[in-house]
Amino acid sequence: MRLLSLLPRILAIFLLILPGLVAISQPKLMQGCDFIMTFYPAGAMVASGHAADIYPPATATSFIDAPFNLYVHKLLTFLPKEYVAIYMYSPLVAAVFVPFSWLPATFALELWQTVSILALLLVSFMLAQKKRKEAFDYFFMMALFCPVFHTLLIGHLGIVLGLLPLAVGYCLWTQNRELSAGFVWGFLAFKPQFLPAALLVAGALVLSKRPKVAIGLSLGLASFVALSVLVLGPAIFSSWLHSLKMADTIFANPAYGFPEYMVVSLPAVLLQSFPHAMRASAKLPIYGLSAAIGLFTLWHSVKLLQPLRVLQTAPDAIAQVRAKALVMTLGLFVLPLVLPHYLFYDMCGMALFCAIAYKDFWSTEQAGVMRAVRRTMWWACNLFYLGFMFLTVKPLGQWYAFILVAFFGLLYYRVLRLNSVSVVSESPAAQLEVEK
């Protein structure tokens, strides 16, 4: 029985080790992963003084003949010719990967995977408030979440430059350090897919006449821009902004071979259901629907946060903690419903919810709902991942992605129905946590 209870942790440890084993045993295959094909060469180009070639020229209409793609194919001799290397992140991200470019590609990937695992462990300890047993429970729970595993496998930046600042900002916010929380969240510009969750919190607080998070967020974004310009110059920063207009091309042009089933985004699924000739005209109503969902979420978040300005008692303090957790949860679950470019591995940010769902401050009823939502999310994402890894789902295209998007729509609705103030927890553990 003891061994049986340890099986989840054994599996989690195996999943943490497996990406490194794959990197070592399959170096040719792994040349096509995001780290080696995108971030590693971007760092190498900055280190060699060719940072200006990271982004396509202003007149470019394709990434295929862009200097970055040509450089990557020259650097990675085993990369299949049909692969198109594209770098769309900020120039500051490329600068982060300069030290990794000094190492051979495989060792650099191994190092980045290790840094990502350490960042995941740090997130777990922060969310557990340094309680060792709780921290490891969170850590292994996150390790068993397939978006986290996939992020480690392909060497993406979502854990280190996305989940980590997202969790740090959330922890600061729950400690009422609103200015600091906003400032940290400003650096989610490293991973823009997570930024709307922070913008939701900031916007709801502004409308509740509490602008500190928004001020901090503005300062953080300004610092990010200033660092980007300072490190690589205004011309390269401008080239990055100009290149963003080609973002839709990656998903719309079949020449890039991007798998449609990886784009777990309601706007993308709806847009891809139209013929190419009609997509430009379909954007307005589809993006309008996404904006309406976002505005509704903002309105609901304001409803959750506004009453907290006048609450002072200990039970009310519990309600404050719950309201913040609910707004953060809504900010995470709304992302697949509103963002046009939201991929499966971006769901590694949902690992934050894995910890939120198991906090002690929920009432008995709320805890049951949150943990059921967490389990449903876990199974939906993991089965979705196993499906596209081991089954032939390519013919389904965007409709395979729609299955997961629909699940998140249902989970989003379930979280919306929770009320943070009306049910006060009877748990002594919740009272003790608030007093701490």
Angle at alpha carbon of residue 226, lines to 224 and 230, rounded to 5°: 120
Q: Tokens for 212? A: 């500190």
**pLDDT tens digit string along 329-338?**
999 999 999 9
Contact 251, 268 (CB under 8 A): yes
- pLDDT of the residue at 60: 79
pLDDT in tens, 83-140: 999 999 999 999 999 999 999 999 999 999 999 999 999 999 999 987 899 999 999 9
- What CA–CA distance (Å, rounded) separates 430 from 365? 14
In whole angstroms, give the CA distance from residue 412 to residue 350: 12
278-282, 342-346, 364-368: least confidently modelled range:
278-282
The C-alpha torsion from 251 through 257 and 261 to 267, rounded to 10°, is 10
What residue type is 249 in one-letter code?
T
Q: How far apart are the first and last CA of the chain?
A: 36
Mean pLDDT, range 246-251, rounded to an integer: 72
| Range from 141-150, 192-201, 424-433 carrying the lowest mean pLDDT | 424-433
Report CA torsion sign: 10, 15, 16, 18.
positive
DSSP code string of 42-103: HHHHHHTT-GGGSSPPTT---STTSHHHHHHHHH-TTS-TT------S-HHHHHHTHHHHTS
**Separation of alpha carbons 395 and 416, rounded Å:** 34
> In this predicted model, what pLDDT tens digit does every residue of 358-387 receive, in sequence order?
998 998 889 999 999 999 999 999 999 999
Statement: residue 430 has pLDDT above 80: no
Of 105, 132, 347, 92, nearest to 231 by C-alpha is 92
- Mean pLDDT is lowest, of 1-5, 57-61, 349-353, for 1-5
Distance CA 133, CA 110 (A): 27
Q: Which amino acid type is present at position 342? A: Y
Distance CA 194, CA 147 (A): 14
CA distance 170 to 164: 10
Chain position carrying tokens 């999943």: 15
Is the whole model's pTM more than 0.95, yes or no? no
Determine the pLDDT at residue 3: 65
Taking a C-beta distance cutoff of 8 angstroms, is the pair 340, 263 a contact?
no
Query: Which residue stretches of 334-397 are H helix?
Result: 335-338, 351-356, 364-390
Cα separation, 283 vs 261, whole angstroms:
19
pLDDT tens for each residue of 301-319: 999 987 665 444 444 678 8
Q: What is the pLDDT of residues 148-163, one digit of tens each?
A: 999 999 999 999 999 9
